[in-house]
A and B are shown apart, each in its own frame.
Chain A
Amino acid sequence: MKRYNFGYYFGEGFRSIFTHGLMSFVAVFMIVACLLIMGSFSLVALNLERELGNLERDNEFLAFVDESYTREQAMELQSRIEMVNNVSGVSFTTKEQAQEDYAAKYASDQNAALYSELPAEVFRDRYSVHMEDLSLIQETIDAVEAIEGIDGHQAAPEVAEGFVLVRNVATAVAMILIVLLLLISLFIIYNTIKLGTFTRREEIAIMKMCGATNGFVRGPFVFEGMILGLFGAVVAFFCQWGVYALIAQAIETGETFQLITVIPFGEIWPKVLGVFAGTGLVVGTGGSVMAIRKFLQV
């Protein structure tokens, strides 16, 4: 591609955006809408992902030590539990410590006195076992319980598995939606540019007759698509920022969502901008290349 053609492509592409002003506006509007829906969905998914990640990180179960074991015997079990697959960490808690923790946890409760009077014998020495992969919880529990000296456990595997399922479904739905929206954006850009080629097919025929290469004819249209795509991406980015900030504020000041912490936009904006710009460029360029294809066969 010759250097001095760039100025021409850009100039022609830019001019065409204004000569087909309404259609360009519609195209940008649709790109913004698509990116916003796509972006919002992805950001919700991202936050959900992180929230679930936090839950996973907390994830542990309690493995109780056989009551007939002495303290020394009980403490010797630690290395054996650590060797079980999928176990990432083990910590030992004596029954006295467990009782104190229990009392402290409910100290503000009106029945605190009741709990603090529970005898230590009610509790048992226990290990809290952390896992790498939450989805393997049942296998891990079985393996730990198979160790001699471990008697009983406490966990809520149904809940954990439920979370994994929710996350997988959410990811799948997000993926499908994103692909769909991408196709819609592509289709809209395609039609916008096609309108441009339709009103300019005479010009294209003249160019071809003068000996223009296909690349040269395509140039301005590709630039037009790129400009529309990028412009849409930037507008969508700022809209996304606003929407995100509003929602984040609503969640943080609201009563019902107090457990949820929202990822600050400042932490993710380069990614959002990058993905938007990339998507805008791909959609803009792809749409125009598709639109111009059949006009080149002269």
Chain B
Amino acid sequence: MIRLLDIQKTYDNGTKALKGVTLNIEDGEFVFLVGPSGSGKSTIIKLITGEEHPNAGRIMVNGYNLNSIHPRQIPYMRRTLGVIFQDFRLIDKKTVGENLEFAMRAVGASTREIRKRIPYVLDLVDLSQKEDRYPSQLSGGEQQRVAIARALVNNPDMIIADEPTGNLDPQRSLEIMTLLEKINELGTTMLVVTHAKELVNRFTKRVIAIENGRIFSDETGGYYKHEEI
């Protein structure tokens, strides 16, 4: 669950990245966030994860009020989110299994919980056979699936993906997006930032378009049609 109310964000160098953004995402939704480069998509993600703070406006994330959250509570808020990036951000010197274990250790999971959970998420992303591989021994699509598994491993309420298919070819991109759809159907709220217009058009999902720091349209259906108007 996400609530952004009239959010403004100006970076220290004076760049006005967001100029009054209001949007709500309910539990269980699948939402695409689209818009041209520099429109403020990643800024929204960073505000949600608590990496950046707004200059004005109110933010609620999965029941945490980020305007008044104590810094000590931020880790616990983040545990309700799984985050995926364009560049995967796996630890190269750890195997697939160890990468997932690392994420679980970070939230204080016990060895028993880890042993139980890892096979389950690896099966979900269809990488059961590759648990002992290193990231460099995997294709880009496989690496992103490991990153998805890592985002899922702590059983978050919501997954936030910032251009998860930016480094992948169309076929792999479709696979990844289909996987995210499947995870969403299992109950995890999904917020996906993307540039891939054709991909967005293949799914009939809610699409929030942002331009120049403002929400430009927000409706269920395709993405291209707005630009044609």
Contact = CB atoms under 8 A, between A and B. Distances in A.
Interface stretch (A1-9, A87-95, A180-188): A1-9
Interface stretch (A25-33, A138-146, A208-216): A208-216
A140 B81 CA distance: 80
Contacts of A114: none
Contact of B108 (A214, A216, A298): A216
Contacts of A4: 110-111
B103 interface: yes
Nearest to A200: B91
Which of A4, A8, A209, A212 gathers most chain B CB within 10 Å?
A209
Contacts of B150: 210
B108 A207 contact: no
Contacts of A5: 105, 108
Contacts of B105: 5, 8, 216
A212 B107 contact: yes
Contacts of B79: 210-211
- State the majority secondary structure of interface residues on A: helix
Interface string A204-226: 01111111111010000000000
Given A211-B75, A213-B75, A298-B51, A206 B110 contact: no
A100 interface: no
A211 B91 contact: no
B144 interface: no
Interface centre among A203, A209, A211, A214 (most CB of B within 10 A): A211
Nearest to B82: A210
A209 B74 CA distance: 10
A216 B111 CA distance: 16
B106 A216 contact: yes
B89 to A, nearest CB: 6
A219 B89 CA distance: 22
B129 to A, nearest CB: 24
How big is chain B's contact interface, by range? 20 to 34
Nearest to B114: A4
Interface residues of A, number: 18
Contacts of B154: 210-211
Residue from A4, A5, A214 with most neighbouring chain B CB atoms (10 Å): A4
A207 B109 CA distance: 13
B102 interface: yes
B143 interface: no
B89 A202 contact: yes
Given A4-B110, A8-B105, A213-B75, A206 B51 contact: no
Interface in B76-116: 76-79, 81, 83, 89, 91, 102-103, 105-108, 110-111
Contacts of A208: 75, 78
Given A206-B102, A298-B51, A211 B107 contact: yes
Contacts of A209: 49, 78, 83, 89
A27 B22 CA distance: 53
A207 B102 contact: yes
Contacts of B83: 209
A214 B72 CA distance: 8
B89 A212 contact: no
A203 B110 contact: no
Contacts of B76: 211
Contacts of A213: 72, 75
A167 B102 CA distance: 57
A212 B106 contact: yes
B103 A210 contact: yes
B3 to A, nearest CB: 20
Contacts of A205: 89
Complex A-B, nearest 8 residue pairs according to Cβ-Cβ distance, in ascending order: A211-B79, A212-B106, A211-B78, A210-B106, A207-B106, A210-B103, A211-B75, A213-B75
Interface of A: 2, 4-5, 8, 202-203, 205-214, 216, 298
7 contacts: A5-B105, A206-B103, A210-B79, A211-B76, A211-B78, A214-B75, A298-B51
Interface of B: 49, 51, 72, 75-79, 81, 83, 89, 91, 102-103, 105-108, 110-111, 150, 154
Given A206-B106, A211-B76, 14 more contacts: A4-B110, A5-B108, A203-B102, A207-B106, A209-B78, A209-B89, A210-B79, A211-B75, A211-B78, A212-B75, A213-B72, A213-B75, A216-B105, A216-B108
